[in-house]
């Protein structure tokens, strides 16, 4: 069986041509797929019945995610879903909505998508990392998460504005499927989302970052740093290399030089672990003149024994970076109380949410 959401528009076009139909039939499939949310081929009546029957006989299907659990934050801005995918696996996906009165500009509806079930990186402060790795998701399973929320938003008269690959899993460890999904989601004959509205977050896998820099895509890159020296980072990220801090900073510099896109370094602040003024000063020295951006993330409650720093500590850390000329912001966290924020996704704990 082949899910039609797996096919790039060019592949869809070649498919209908190989079946003896004119190329415009491809658009008669693509347009409904990404804007009408059909569940089966018979939900696309503009296609000739004969073509629908031939596609079905050839094993083509329309995969969709089935919602099995939904939880909404107290303010209504964050929705976390447990979705059962067409491969019979379940994954958590999150919708975060931002009020323009609070952020300036236009309203944003950001979907945090997952690329794996579980994660093999083992970050000690991340619920997904502590869950362990189960399986990679195919491009169609990544896309189905977006489509499911797009349908929910469409019924409200709203639409998806941004995607962040910051859900379950390490995107660069599932590179081929992740990038196929990105190309379909940004294709003007696919989902049609602007490339600059997508950010991929990684723990810092060199091969993936180097490949991404060669893709000629204008998407954002966020690299999880979390420490100012290798000894500390190794404790927080067991899979880190002995020189991971320097390597990550150099990768960010190379990515910017190649793509012109500024890299964001994500830094999860943990009380008594990596939030001291001394560490902030060390980090500032490392990043000075780098041209990158630091996104400070006060740690969210997870299964690990880590505490969120006080507001005073967070602001002092930010001040030290800012005074050193480092572009820096504190992330606006959403959905913490429903375990939908950064580092909190874990399907085996859904019943406790």
Q: For residue 324, which phi and psi values (nearest 5 degrees)?
A: -90, 5
Residue 132, helix vs strand vs coil: coil
For residues 169-198, average pLDDT: 97
Let me know whether 183 and 266 are in one domain: yes
Q: What is the pLDDT, as a whole number, of residue 197?
A: 97
Contact 244, 209 (CB under 8 A): no
Same domain, 13 and 76: no
Map tokens 């990105």 to a residue: 182
Confidence check: pLDDT of 144 > 70: yes
What positions carry a catalytic annotation?
Answer: 92, 342
Task: Report the pLDDT value the prediction gives residue 272, as an integer from 0 to 100.
Answer: 95
Tell me which of 189 and 338 has the higher pLDDT: 189
Looking at the fold, whether 29 and 102 belong to one and the same domain comes out as no
DSSP 54-77: HHHHTTEE----EEEEEEE-TTS-
Q: What domain range is 110 assigned to?
A: 66-352
Q: 333 pLDDT band (50/70/90 cuts)?
A: low
Q: Which is nearest to 192 in space by CA: 35, 82, 73?
A: 35
The pLDDT tens digits of the residues spanning 233-286 come to 999 999 999 999 999 999 999 999 999 999 999 999 999 999 999 999 999 999
- Pair (78, 167) in one structural domain: yes
Q: How far apart are CA 314 and CA 335, in angstroms?
A: 20
Check: pTM over 0.85? Answer yes or no.
yes
CATH number at residue 37: 1.10.150.530
As a whole number, mean pLDDT of residues 197-222 equals: 96
| DSSP per-residue string spanning 7-47 | S-HHHHHHHHHHTT--THHHHHHHHHHHHT--SSGGG-TTS
Tokens of 292: 């990158």
**Same structural domain for residues 50 and 78?**
no
Task: Say yes or no: 76 and 55 in one domain.
Answer: no
Domain boundary, last residue among 40, 61, 82 = 61
Q: Of 21, 38, 61, which residue is a domain's last?
A: 61
Count of structural domains, the chain: 2
**Is residue 331 predicted with pLDDT exceeding 70?**
yes
The reported pLDDT for the residue numbered 186 is 98
- Of 21, 44, 61, the one marking the end of a domain is 61
Whether pLDDT at 339 is above 90: no
How many helices, marked H, and strands, marked E, lie in the chain? Answer: 12, 14
Cβ-Cβ contacts under 8 Å for 45 (sequence gap 6 or more): none
Least confident of 98-102, 187-191, 220-224, 239-243: 98-102
Summarize the confidence of residues 113-120 as an average pLDDT. Answer: 94
**Which residue blocks in the chain are alpha helix, DSSP H?**
9-18, 24-35, 49-57, 100-103, 127-131, 139-155, 175-186, 206-213, 230-236, 244-259, 277-287, 311-323
Query: For position 332, what pLDDT does the model report?
Result: 72
In this structure, what is the dihedral angle of CA atoms 99, 201, 243, 260, given to the nearest 10 degrees? -90
Give the model's pLDDT for residue 342. Answer: 53
Closest C-alpha among 349, 338, 78, 123 to residue 235: 123
Average pLDDT for residues 186-202, to the nearest whole number? 97
Tens digits of residue pLDDT in 15-65? 999 999 999 999 999 999 999 999 999 999 999 999 999 999 999 999 989
Are 329 and 293 contacting, i.e. CB atoms less than 8 angstroms apart?
Answer: yes
| Confidence band, pLDDT 50/70/90 cuts, at residue 88 | confident
Residue 197 shares a structural domain with residue 291: yes
- Which residue matches tokens 């995607």? 163
Task: Produce one character per residue of 215-226: b if its CB has 16 or more CB atoms within 10 Å, e if not.
Answer: eebebbbbbbbb
Say yes or no: 171 and 53 in one domain: no
User: How many Å apart are CA 66 and CA 81, to the nearest integer?
Assistant: 10
Q: Do 227 and 104 reside in the same domain of the chain?
A: yes
**Do 44 and 135 lie in a common domain?**
no
Which percentage of the chain shows pLDDT scores above 70? 91
> Which CATH number do you get for residue 88?
3.20.20.70
Query: Are 53 and 137 found together in one domain?
Result: no
Q: Measured at the alpha carbon of residue 121, what is the angle toward residues 119 and 125, in degrees to the nearest 5?
A: 90
Q: Would you state the pLDDT for residue 131?
A: 84
Spatial distance between the Cα atoms of 225 and 45, rounded to a whole number of angstroms: 50
Residues 6+ apart with CB under 8 A from 151: 37
Q: Which residues contact 291 (CB under 8 A, 6 or more apart)?
A: 253, 256, 262
Residue 335 has pLDDT above 50, yes or no: no
In this structure, are 218 and 134 located in the same domain?
yes
Is the pLDDT assigned to residue 107 strictly greater than 60? yes
**Residue 81 DSSP symbol:** E
Percent of the chain topping pLDDT 90 = 79
């Amino acid at each position: 069986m082949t899910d039609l959401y797996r096919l790039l528009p060019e592949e869809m076009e070649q498919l209908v041509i190989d079946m003896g139909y004119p190329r415009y039939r491809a658009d008669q499939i693509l347009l409904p797929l990404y804007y009408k949310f059909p569940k089966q081929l018979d939900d696309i009546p503009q296609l000739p019945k004969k073509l629908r029957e031939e596609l079905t006989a050839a094993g083509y299907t329309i995969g969709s995610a089935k919602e099995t659990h939904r939880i909404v934050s107290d303010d209504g801005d964050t929705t976390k879903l447990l979705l059962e995918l067409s491969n019979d696996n379940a994954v958590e996906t999150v919708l975060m909505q931002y009020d323009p009165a609070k952020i300036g500009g236009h309203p944003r509806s950001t979907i945090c998508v997952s690329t794996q079930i579980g994660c093999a990186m083992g970050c000690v402060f991340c619920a997904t990392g502590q869950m362990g790795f189960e399986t990679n998701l195919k491009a169609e399973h990544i896309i189905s998460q977006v489509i499911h929320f797009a349908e929910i938003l469409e019924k409200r008269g709203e639409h998806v504005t941004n995607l962040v690959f910051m859900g379950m899993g390490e995107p660069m460890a599932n590179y081929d499927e992740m990038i196929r999904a990105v190309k379909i989601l940004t294709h003007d004959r696919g989902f049609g989302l602007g490339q600059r509205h997508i950010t991929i977050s990684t723990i810092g896998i060199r091969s993936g970052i180097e490949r991404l820099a060669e893709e000629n895509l204008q998407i954002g890159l966020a690299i999880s740093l979390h420490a100012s020296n290798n000894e500390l980072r190794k404790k927080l990220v067991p899979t880190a290399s002995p020189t991971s801090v320097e390597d990550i900073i150099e990768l960010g510099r190379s990515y910017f030089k190649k793509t012109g896109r500024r890299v964001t370094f994500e830094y999860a602040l943990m009380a008594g672990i990596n939030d001291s003024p001394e560490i902030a000063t060390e980090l500032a020295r490392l990043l000075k003149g780098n041209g990158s951006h630091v996104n400070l993330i006060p740690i969210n409650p997870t299964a690990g024994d880590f505490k969120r720093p006080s507001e005073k500590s967070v602001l002092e850390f930010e001040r030290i970076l800012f005074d050193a000329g480092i572009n820096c912001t504190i992330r606006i966290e959403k959905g913490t109380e429903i375990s939908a924020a950064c580092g909190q996704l874990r399907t085996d704990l859904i019943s406790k949410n």
